[in-house]
A and B are shown apart, each in its own frame.
Chain A
């Protein structure tokens, strides 16, 4: 059973702080990793994707991937109340176009 694990939270951070969201996955052959943001009652929207070990930065967001540890994280710098949402980690299973989603981490940014 291929799995993606996330801490459900809520993770509370003050406005302006760095939010760190973590995700582990079980399929060592996974190639592609994604972070989605989902506001309550809305569909998921893609924030970041990462394919290679290391860091990938896009504005206030940084995705980090460590394939040896089967670990992917998302850092949100200068967190804003508008960042309050559930963040879903998704992994594309090897050899397919199918995604396995984690259960999501609920982030609350306190003004």
Chain B
């Protein structure tokens, strides 16, 4: 299994601002995944981040709102842009194509 470090672990942000979440893996991985878990809900895949190419977004998620970078095989960032209270969620990065392993998550509150 991979060790995944995600930061920040939590943040409280003003509406209209942006937050960048970082995800660092202890080994090289081809694919990294970003999920959102809204309060009381399950995990929803936002996008798949491949090194060297643009991220692939799931239905309902767009690059302008959730830009993703993947500069190398161990690191990725997710930015939540122009935040509103509806963006208050836990954001999780994940790796693994056979079994998924998750970072500790970022608990975001937008006020």
Contact = CB atoms under 8 A, between A and B. Distances in A.
Contacts of A49: 98-99
B97 interface: yes
B42 interface: yes
B72 to A, nearest CB: 19
Given A49-B99, A97-B31, A98-B48, A43 B105 contact: yes
B41 A43 contact: no
A34 interface: yes
A99 B104 CA distance: 18
A58 to B, nearest CB: 13
A18 B60 CA distance: 39
Contacts of A42: 104-105
B12 interface: no
Contact of A98 (B45, B92, B105): B45
Contacts of A102: 42
Interface of A: 32, 34, 41-46, 49, 88, 90, 97-99, 101-104
Interface of B: 1, 31, 33, 41-45, 48, 92, 97-105, 107
